[in-house]
Amino acid sequence: PNFPLGITVAGVSTLGGNVSIGGTLTYEDVTNVDSIGVVTARSGVDITGASAGVNGSSNLILKTGGSERSRIDSSGRLLIGSTDSMNVGSATGDGLIQISRTNARVSQSWNAFTADGGGVVISLGKSRSATPGNYDIVQNNDEIGAIRFAGADGTDLVTQAAKITSFVDGTPGANDMPGRLEFHTTADGAAGPTERLRITKNGAIGIAGANYGT
């Protein structure tokens, strides 16, 4: 139907054909917007929760089969399999992407199907700039990235059992990034991991605090 400009439709309206809207369609004071079928957006979809948020909170919740599968909370964290953010491996380690499961092992799969010799790559990057896209040079002993292993101790998931960390190992420059790897484990009775093995920028190896060479 072609409605004149400024028309207001009150109550429930059922339209059996196609409806074309050239401007902005705004839903106000509704509990649910029920769409059966496929919703196609030609440019983009912007879903913004007001002060009350989506589904009565400031979270964007996605469901399939009537069950919640994931949510984006008010801090922008993607939570899969859990409704609450948690700290893992650090008191401030509430990651932007958190995956939890209760009925099977948590696993992720990256698969490359290419007719060449390339494989799957996981990259961890570090810049000293506070602005994404700016590449302020890192400095000697800056941490580039880490993998932390934490176990529940009856209180939380903060305490680490082990970690693998990469650091800048020297003075970096354009296309020059000296680095080292450190392997840490936590002793019985300790609250944090201790370095056990280090591989330096030149391949020298030190074990349990021994001379690492240069």
Q: Give residue 53's pLDDT.
A: 42
Q: CA 27 → CA 24, 39, 68, 202, 203, distances in Å?
A: 10, 16, 23, 62, 62
187 secondary structure, DSSP code: P
DSSP readout, 24-67? -----S-S-----S----SS-------SS-BTTBBBEEEEETTE
**Cross-strand bridge partners of residue 59:** 54
- Provide the pLDDT for residue 47: 60
Confidence of residue 65 (pLDDT cuts 50, 70, 90): confident
Q: pTM of the entire structure?
A: 0.73
pLDDT over threshold 60, residue 39: yes
Amino acid at 203: G
